[in-house]
Amino acid sequence: MPQNANAGREANLFGHRIAKIVAEELHLEFTGHSSSNQCKGPKGIGVIKSAKEGNAYIGILKTMLPRLDIIYAAIGCDKNTYQVFEVTKNKVEEFKFEPTSKKNKNQWFIKVRDIKKLRPVLKISDTGSTSAKKIMPSKVVHKKEHKQTQNIEKRIQELFESYNNIMDELRDLKVIRSTNNPAGDYGEYLAEHKLGLIQAPKSSKGYDLTDNNGTKYQVKTRRLTRHNKSRQLGGFRDLDEKLFDYCLAIILTEDFILNEMWVISHDIICKYTRDTTRGFQRLVLDGKLLKEIGVKRIF
């Protein structure tokens, strides 16, 4: 057999062997021609591609790509070990390019280094022979690592579901009004109920609460945590329009307990804010600011 034909046969056997290991571990079902490694699974129609260590690209037939939802790329990281990456349709569109060689004009190429920017979902070992007569693929896969990843992802989903349930209940109790960080809405809730203020309509620009005399208050809330003890308040905008009379600056503990509440006049806010490159002014609730005549701690 000519050398090129032999090398091509060996490459095909290698690709099919790796594809079988990946398919078994990710619970994929082969659907296409026996030579295509096309498959289907929970994430739709896919194809399994492999590249040995040192290979720079993987290739995808242009006629195949439109019907694919995902590419499973097994990339060699040493002699017998491969990391498996899930390359979604969006990432394929981002990474693909047309090769310069005319003989490859029927394919899209994707650089291995781009694929490696993604997070691997699986690690497999292949110690099988490349002989056409005897293929003995090793299925020594890091199952424990893969299962741990699945458990972590499941727990993350459970936590976000709990978070959504908590947010829904806080909205029902009228503690929060939006789907944003709850600290801001909770600060407004505390100021409203502890000071007997009136909630401004959602469409109000530049202020959150008013009193019976029509005085306008903008509320800025900061929650301090063990990971972030910064006392920088949320950004101020359009200060030159004087959209509020006073700022109520609120500091919460990590457990959302009211720790401090300060009332600061508009002119003091203007005096101490500093411009940023992001189009707003910032203010840190500390130092000389807290000693100004127009600043008073009320809680």
Q: What is the pLDDT of residues 95-138, one digit of tens each?
A: 999 888 878 889 999 999 999 999 888 888 876 643 333 334 44
Residue 31 has pLDDT above 90, yes or no: no
Phi, psi of 148 (to 5 degrees): -60, -40
In whole angstroms, what is the distance from residue 133 CA to residue 182 CA?
64
18 and 80 in contact (C-beta within 8 Å)?
no
Neighbouring CB atoms inside 10 A of 143's CB total 13
183: nearest Cα among 194, 173, 193, 175 = 175
Residue 15 has pLDDT above 90, yes or no: no
pTM over 0.75: no
pLDDT of the residue at 146: 62
Distances (CA, A) of 179 to 159, 189, 215: 16, 15, 27
In whole angstroms, what is the distance from residue 93 CA to residue 91 CA?
5
In this predicted model, what pLDDT tens digit does every residue of 177-208 receive, in sequence order? 877 788 999 999 999 999 999 999 988 999 99
Of the chain, the percentage scoring pLDDT greater than 70 comes to 89
In whole angstroms, what is the distance from residue 52 CA to residue 77 CA?
8
Half-sphere exposure of residue 19: CA atoms within 13 angstroms, side-chain side: 23
Helix (H, G, I), strand (E, B) or coil at 274: strand
In this predicted model, what pLDDT tens digit does every residue of 206-242 receive, in sequence order? 999 999 999 999 999 999 988 889 999 999 999 999 9
H helix or E strand, kind and range, residue 143:
helix 143-172
Half-sphere exposure of residue 6: CA atoms within 13 angstroms, side-chain side: 4
In whole angstroms, what is the distance from residue 241 CA to residue 109 CA?
55
Calculate the average pLDDT of the chain. Answer: 86
